[in-house]
A and B are shown apart, each in its own frame.
Chain A
């Protein structure tokens, strides 16, 4: 039976340089080790980020993808956006304006799938979408 898995929203600290990136990685490592992790990193506080910070984001995305999960970014501060643009890594992530949007995006496809395989009889009676 399919159950909805939790989406974890994690706020990234103001500075994401080498030292802080290591601390942050230790915090998120247990989340990455779940089966099919669904993570959202909120980067609204980030003011300073360097290559180590970008590397951390890529590592987390890679680890999540390896376990068939996903990592999405939300509420990017202008500083974070500038660095992601500079390092050409922004295009690798799904980026959302807010954490809520990012969380919703994880479940967005599920109802369609459910409807496709378990059509709603009431909807069909009203002449709505036909069952597959």
Chain B
């Protein structure tokens, strides 16, 4: 199946080759993107906003959100389940690393081992939450996950004997690769590590999307009843979506904890789940490159765009526009993104072809009330 991955290549044998060797083409594209980005920071408009190091640091943080968006995309985009407590798995991943490698716990397990552990623990909690709740219908599931997303930070906040409560766990150890230890002020190693993790996750997700499981997700999303009658085990299939979706946020959590060297319950509130949802919706539910791009765009707008908008508009002394502090309007912006994308372009900026067909098919059905009834 030829996918977006190969579309950049000119038609002909080259495109065909890349279409067939997705893993190689994803690796290549990620390498190119990761190689080009730091240089963009040196180009005039961008170079005036911050040093190259600041930009690279920002890109590494953006990578955390890209991982989150990729994971949520498995749940929302592939399987069509709305998860509003996704930040909980992020928190679980981060705390797993803090428990495994910080003075607070007295342990210092290697980062790479903990990366796998964080993902594993997050996936286990995905299963734990999913097992009893996945029989629920879509909107009930959304509210249960929302409740779960609220409970997890409360537990981390209140179980202070184990989590150090509000203060969180500080002094988390940075990763070590062979003899080299990552330093907090130096974003480059983190940036490269993130690029590698992202490439690996994207390869995994592309393989999954076209696998038997990926097709089962699509079938389930399009018509659960039909999928079940065709012999798809709906519960296992949904559970796997939850677990695999949680895995990447486990990676994201471990990475963030090792980069900030601090975890605290306030980092994982509902706004995180909400922001990631906005990223997935903006990018295009179901499209792997799309949601990664959506996450990158929203993250950069949030951290750089709004700030620069202030800087550009304030000196102009325009009425109204110059007086506004645009950073304040961040969540309004996300809210509008969610509403307008759903109303105008539900398939997102970078649609998955299949999802677009589904979402627009519904519009056709609207003309026939009998079909639309359920």
- A and B bind: no
